């Protein structure tokens, strides 16, 4: 169900955990991902109950086709029934009441809102997306619609932590060359990447000051889906919307 929830000046932020839904193993229980092999009826039911528990109309939640890239789409309503959902890793809206959703299982879900301008964004920042700059691209799109970085509230959700996300030494060097804050070491002393730290460093440089980070590491928490731990598994969702 809803694991974490927060609101600031009419901007709402929520992140799910893995329990309370109807998906069968290995997606048990609250899988919200539609492209992981789970029964579509179970995903539909879970998305419906998540939306209702947040006070949202399930038909007014916008999902994206995430591809680990830097591209952003501006949306002003739900996709039509026959729409080609764009392959982007960030969506931005100026429509109050329209909820934006991001799916993750170890990648960093990033929720952004400028409550004064009425602009919200959701972004999917895994290692490639963080390096490619999907979060700065989302902020730039928000600013293009009238947001100001100093007013943006940022929340990052449950994600694999820098002490668990082991990578080859060369990969860590490549990531750190782009974003030094992402340089990390596992708890067992090998090269690692801290994607969430990289995202927060990017936001800080852009002037986004009101930032909070979930304390949950998906790989360590059995209350959350983790792709690196389980491979075939469900997806968590983050939701952002404005009153
Ligand atoms: Zn961890």
Q: Rounded to whole angstroms, what are the CA distances from 153 to 3, 146, 219?
A: 19, 15, 26
* C-alpha 164 to ligand 1 mean position (Å): 4
* C-alpha 57 to ligand 1 mean position (Å): 34
* C-alpha 68 to ligand 1 mean position (Å): 21
What are 126-129's contacts with CB under 8 Å, separation 24+?
Answer: 126/68, 126/195, 127/165, 127/167, 127/171, 127/175, 127/193, 127/195, 128/68, 128/69, 129/68, 129/69, 129/70, 129/89
**Domain limits for position 153:** 2-242
Task: Tell me the per-residue pLDDT of 67-88, one tens digit each, with 9 for 90 and over.
Answer: 999 999 999 999 987 778 999 9
pLDDT in the model for residue 84? 84
Task: Tell me the per-residue pLDDT of 161-209, one tens digit each, with 9 for 90 and over.
Answer: 999 999 999 999 999 999 999 999 999 999 999 999 999 999 999 999 9
* C-alpha 115 to ligand 1 mean position (Å): 32
- Domain of 147, CATH number, reads 3.60.140.10
* C-alpha 178 to ligand 1 mean position (Å): 22
Task: Tell me the per-residue pLDDT of 90-115, one tens digit each, with 9 for 90 and over.
Answer: 999 999 999 999 999 999 999 999 99
* C-alpha 169 to ligand 1 mean position (Å): 18
* C-alpha 54 to ligand 1 mean position (Å): 28
pTM beyond 0.85? yes
Number of domains in the chain: 1
* C-alpha 216 to ligand 1 mean position (Å): 8
């Amino acid at each position: 169900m809803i694991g974490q929830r927060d609101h600031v000046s009419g901007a709402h932020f929520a992140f799910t955990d893995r329990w309370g839904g109807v998906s069968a193993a290995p997606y048990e229980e609250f899988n919200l991902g539609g492209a992981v092999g789970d029964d579509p009826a179970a995903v539909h039911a879970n998305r419906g109950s998540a939306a209702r528990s947040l006070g949202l109309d399930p038909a007014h939640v916008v999902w994206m086709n995430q591809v680990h890239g830097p591209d952003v789409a501006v949306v002003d309503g739900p996709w039509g029934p026959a729409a080609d959902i764009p392959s982007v890793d960030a969506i931005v809206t100026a429509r109050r009441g329209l909820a934006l959703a991001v799916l993750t299982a170890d990648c960093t879900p990033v929720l952004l809102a400028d409550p004064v301008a009425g602009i919200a964004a959701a972004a999917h920042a895994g290692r490639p997306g963080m390096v490619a700059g999907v979060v700065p691209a989302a902020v730039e799109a928000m600013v293009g619609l009238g947001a100001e970085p100093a007013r943006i509230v940022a929340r990052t959700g449950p994600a694999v932590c820098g002490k668990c996300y082991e990578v080859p030494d060369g990969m860590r060097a490549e990531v750190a060359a782009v974003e030094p804050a992402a340089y990390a070491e596992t708890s067992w002393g090998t090269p690692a990447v801290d994607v969430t730290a990289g995202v927060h460093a990017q936001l800080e440089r852009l002037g986004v000051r009101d930032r909070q980070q979930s304390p949950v590491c998906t790989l360590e928490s059995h209350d959350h889906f983790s792709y690196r731990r389980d491979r075939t598994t469900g997806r968590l969702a983050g939701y952002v919307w404005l009153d």
